[in-house]
Amino acid sequence: MRAPLQILAFPFIKEGEKYYYALFKRKDMDVWQAIAGGGEDNETPVEAMKREIYEEASIDKNSQYIRLSSIATIPAVNIRGTIWDDIIVIPEIAFGVEVMAKELKISDEHTEYLWLSFDEAMDKLKYDSNKCALWELDYRLKNNLTNIKNNIQNIEKYYSSN
CA distance 48 to 36: 10
Residue 97 is predicted with a pLDDT of: 97
Residue 2 has pLDDT above 90, yes or no: no
Residue 49 is predicted with a pLDDT of: 97
Q: Which residue ranges form the domains of the chain, and what is each CATH number?
A: 2-161 (3.90.79.10)
CA distance 19 to 138: 8
CA distance 141 to 121: 15
CB 12 within 8 A of CB 112: no
Average pLDDT for the chain: 90
Residue 150 has pLDDT above 60, yes or no: no
pLDDT digits (tens, 9 = 90+) for 27-81: 988 899 999 999 999 999 999 999 999 999 999 999 999 999 999 999 888 776 5
Residue 85 is predicted with a pLDDT of: 77
Q: Identify the helix (H) or strand (E) that includes residue 40.
A: strand 35-40
Residue 46 is predicted with a pLDDT of: 95
Among candidate residues 11, 10, 14, the one with its CA nearest the CA of residue 131: 10
Among candidate residues 29, 65, 69, the one with its CA nearest the CA of residue 50: 65
pLDDT tier for residue 152 given thresholds of 50, 70 and 90: low
Residue 77 is predicted with a pLDDT of: 81
Among candidate residues 125, 13, 144, 31, the one with its CA nearest the CA of residue 72: 125
Q: Identify the helix (H) or strand (E) that includes residue 56.
A: helix 45-57
Residues 140-162 have a mean pLDDT of 71
pLDDT tier for residue 161 given thresholds of 50, 70 and 90: low
Q: Note the pTM of the prediction, 2 decimals.
A: 0.89
DSSP 91-158: EEEEEEEE-S-S-----TTEEEEEEE-HHHHHHHB--HHHHHHHHHHHHHHHTT----HHHHHHHHHH
Residues 134-142 have a mean pLDDT of 97
